Amino acid sequence: MEQKSLFSVISPIMVGPSSSHTAGAVRLGLMARNIYKNDFKKVKFILYNSFATTGFGHGTDKGLLAGVLGYQVDDSAIKNIFDNVKNIQYSYEYTEDISRHPNSVDIIFDDKMTICGDSVGAGEIRINCINGFLANIDGTYDTLLLMYKDRPGMISTVSDIIQKQKVNIASLHCDRDSKGGTASMYVALDIPVGDDVVEKVKQIKDVFFVTNIRKLK
C-alpha cells in the first residue's frame, strides 16, 4: 500500500464547495491544459452523470473552465470566472452514460483534441483517454506521451533516449488500435525531461505526435 501524506487529510486549500465536483473539476481542466498545451480559441465540455446533474450547484462548470485557463484550485477568481473570460468560446453539454464514472467529463479543444477524464474523489483525478486512445494519467508524474505507427522496437528506442538523460521511468503504458495500426505510449517519469528529449523522440521513425505533460501542483 502506498503511504499517504498528512496533507491528504488537512488539504488542499481550495475554493468550495466540493473536492470532487469543484477542486476535481479545476484539476481536470488544468491537466487537459497541460496535455493540449496550445493556446485555444474554443473549448467544449461534455459533462456526464453526477457532474451533469449536480454540477451546476457545485460550480463544476466554472471549475472546468478555470482549469483549462490555468487557474489553481484555491483561486478566489474561479467564482466569477464567467465575467473574466474574453476571446474564448466555451460551451457545455450535459448527458448521461452509465458506462462512465459518475463524475466524468470530455474536454474538447478547438474541435481537434478530446480529453476524457474522471474526478475520482477528494480532488484526485484521472485522464482516461486522449483522442480515443486509452490513457492513465493522474497528474502525479511528469509524463511523456507519444503516438506512433505500431511496430516492434518502439519501447526500447524511447526508453533508450530517456535512459541517456539519466531519468528513471516510474511506469509505462501502451495501447494501439490494431497490430501495425496507430499506437500510444505514456511514460511516467520521476523527473521531467526537457524539450530536447521531445525533439529526439519526434525524430524517431513512425512517431507522429509527442508531448511532454507536466504533473499537477
Partner 1 sequence: MAILSFSELEKKCTDENKPIYEIALEEETVLSGDIADVIRLRVLEDLLAMKDAVKHGLTSEEKAISGWCGDDCVKLVKKFAERPSLFGKIFEKITMYALATAEENLRMGRIVACPTAGSCGIVPSVIIAAAEERKIPEVQQVNGLLTAGMIGLIVSNKVQLAGAVAGCQAECGVASAMAAAALVQMLGGNTGEILNAAALALKNILGLTCDPVCGLVEVPCIKRNAFLAVHAVTAAELALCGVESKIPIDEIVDTLKITGQLMSPLLKETSLGGLAKTKTALELERILHSKNDKA
Contacts to partner 1 by CB under 8 A: 1, 3-19, 22-23, 50, 53-54, 56-59, 62, 74, 76, 78-79, 121-123
Candidates 96, 141, 126; CA nearest to 28 is 126
In sign, the C-alpha dihedral spanning 16, 22, 28, 32 is: negative
Cell, residue 216: 499537477
Q: In this structure, what DSSP letter does residue 151 have?
A: -
* Comparison of 120 and 174: residue with beta carbon closer to partner 1: 120
3-state secondary structure of 80: helix
Q: In this structure, what DSSP letter does residue 20 have?
A: I
Task: State the minimum distance, in angstroms, from the CB of residue 43 to partner 1.
Answer: 18
* Comparison of 103 and 184: residue with beta carbon closer to partner 1: 103
Task: State the minimum distance, in angstroms, from the CB of residue 75 to partner 1.
Answer: 8
Task: State the minimum distance, in angstroms, from the CB of residue 73 to partner 1.
Answer: 9
Q: Dihedral of the CA atoms 116, 121, 176, 172 (nearest 10)?
A: 130
DSSP strand pairing (207-213 vs 182-189): unpaired
* Comparison of 56 and 114: residue with beta carbon closer to partner 1: 56
Task: State the minimum distance, in angstroms, from the CB of residue 172 to partner 1.
Answer: 24
* Comparison of 8 and 84: residue with beta carbon closer to partner 1: 8
Task: State the minimum distance, in angstroms, from the CB of residue 40 to partner 1.
Answer: 24
> What single letter denotes the amino acid at residue 194?
G
Query: Which residues, in sequence order, are CB contacts of 104 under 8 Å at separation 6+?
Result: 47, 48, 49, 51, 97, 116, 117, 118, 119
Give dist(CA 24, CA 59) in Å, integer.
11
* Comparison of 51 and 133: residue with beta carbon closer to partner 1: 51
152: preceding bond cis by omega (within 30 degrees)? no
* Comparison of 139 and 148: residue with beta carbon closer to partner 1: 139
Task: State the minimum distance, in angstroms, from the CB of residue 111 to partner 1.
Answer: 24
Give dist(CA 176, CA 191) in Å, integer.
26
